[in-house]
Structure formats: C-alpha cells, structure tokens
Structure 1
C-alpha cells in the first residue's frame, strides 16, 4: 500500500486500476470490475484502505490547500506559446 503524498516513486495496482503517488497529488487511472466474489471483496478492501489513507493525509495537514508544490508534470512547462511545427 502506498503512503499518499509521501514521495514521487510509489505506485500500486488494484485490478486494472493504477495508482501513482506524487508529493502533490495521487493519480488514479484505469478501471476495475468489482465482482461479487472473494477477489472483488479483497479489491474493495484495498480501495477502502487506499481512500482512507488519502483522506487521512488531508485531515492530518490542514494546510494542504495553501501548499504550492511543483509536480514533475509541471516542472518543465514553459509559460510562452510556441509555433506548431506540424502546420
């Protein structure tokens, strides 16, 4: 299980649902079929634990809305417009 917002290198998978950890966000993508069987129950428990940890991270740091962290996705973006080389 990941520790939400703790680092930029953890990831996990529940079914086909991928969870990637970063210091300023948790990225969740993919899909999951929770079937009414033992595997579906286990996956539902994992989702419950994950969302609980995410909510706990928000609750333990009341300053989350004031933090300005730079994610690796935004750190190389330029603020200027460039011409499209394909036109």
Structure 2
C-alpha cells in the first residue's frame, strides 16, 4: 500500500488499475472489473483502504503545509520553443 503524497516513487496495482504516488498528486489510470466474487471483494477492499488513506492525507494537512507542484508534469517541461523537425 502506498503512502499518499509521501514521495515520487511508489506505485501499486489493483487488477489493471495503476496508482502512482507523487508528492503533489495521485495518478490513477487503467481498468478494473470488480466481479461479485472473492477476488472482486479483495480488490474493492484495497481500493477502499487506499481512498481512506488519501482522504486522511487531505484532512490532516494544514494550509501552511501544502506542497508546491514538483511532479514530473512541471519539472520535465521546458518553456523553450523548438522548431518542428517534420516540417
């Protein structure tokens, strides 16, 4: 189980659903079919535990403690324009 917003390197998988941890966001993508059986119950339980931890992280943070954007989305982009090599 990941620790929400704690670092930029944890991830977990539930079925085909991928959950990636960042210090400023949680990224969730993929598909998950929850069948009404034991496996579906275990997967739903994992999702419930994760979303509970995420909600606790939101509820336990104060305004002065919020992290600034430092994820890949911001740090990997450059503001420089480049010519399109395909033209």
Give the Å deviation of 1:27: 0.7
What are the superposed Cα offsets for residues 12-71 of structure 1, whole Å, 9 maximum, x if unpaired?
A: 00000011111111111100000000110110011111111111111111328x642211
Corresponding position of 1:37: 37
3-state SS of the aligned residue for 2:73? Answer: coil
Partner SS state of residue 29, structure 2:
strand
Greater shift, 69-78 or 52-61, is seen at 69-78
Give the alignment's TM-score, normalised by structure 2: 0.89
Aligned position for 2:8: 8
RMSD (Å), alpha carbons: 1.8
Alignment gaps of 5+ in structure 1: none
Cα distance in 1 between the residues matched to 2:76 and 2:17: 27
Structure 2 unaligned segments of length 5 or more: list them: none
Q: Distance in 2 between matches of 1:19 and 1:63?
A: 25
**Aligned pairs for 1:31-70 within 5 A:** 31-63=31-63, 67-70=67-70
Using the alignment, how far apart are the partners of 1:76 and 1:26 within structure 2? 17
TM-score normalised according to structure 1 size: 0.89
